[in-house]
Amino acid sequence: MIIFVRHGETVYQAFQKAAIMTANNVKTRYNPQSGLSETGIQQALEAGDCLRHYNPKHLYSSDLPRCVQTAEKINEQLNQKLEIIQSVKLRERMLWEERERYRTLELDITDKDLEPFADVFKSAQEVISELENTEFKGNVVVCTHGQFMEVLKYAALETDTDFFKFNTLYKQHKSKGNRPDGSRFCKMFAIDLSLPRTKRKVLFPYEVKNV
């Protein structure tokens, strides 16, 4: 079973949230190197407490600080300490097709930061293929980023590059996998990649006792 986990809240995201709550229209440049906020650290520790019950044997992470720090805090809560395998392939990817939504969120990104869904989907397929073809001894935790995590889910279930189909699945699962308090930070879902694609289901560890 592969359990995908989003990173906790970052300092950058906490700053953006505070600016919105105080009606302070201040935008800062998106910072991919931002680490976890104090809230994000607590979220990661709580995610680790949940994941401990699934006794993972392998731990992967994007190489960006927010994911590495989340993986480290998760690791602190596990029954046994695991090697954290970092990979650039698990980094966040911003979709060209979502550019209007990014603007409504006032994310300070430019067109050069965006990629077509077909390209991001191909990268997600490569990650899923590697996971499918690796012989793991036990459950696996993969710490990655919100947008790319959703594309990974789609790539584990589907084989075509239909953005509309992807978006439909995303909307169906939008609130599923969130933390018990409703936060999307450290949301998680699990998929058994050893099953044929047609028999795979998405499970949500916060909502079930066993995966």
Number of structural domains the chain divides into: 1
pTM of the full predicted structure?
Answer: 0.89
The CATH number given to whatever domain includes residue 151 is 3.40.50.1240
Residue 206 placed within a domain: no
pLDDT tens for residues 123-162?
999 999 999 999 998 999 999 999 999 999 999 999 888 9
The per-residue pLDDT for 181 is 86
Amino acid at 187: K
**Which residues span the domain enclosing 41?**
2-199
pLDDT above 70 coverage of the chain, percent: 88
Residue 90 placed within a domain: yes
12-21, 68-77, 163-172: range with highest mean pLDDT: 68-77
Please name the residues in contact with 88: beta carbons below 8 A apart, sequence gap of 6 or more: 62, 63
Residue 205 placed within a domain: no
pLDDT tens for residues 74-120?
999 999 999 999 999 999 998 999 888 777 766 667 888 899 999 99
Please calculate the CA angle 32-126-96 and round it to the nearest 5 degrees: 50
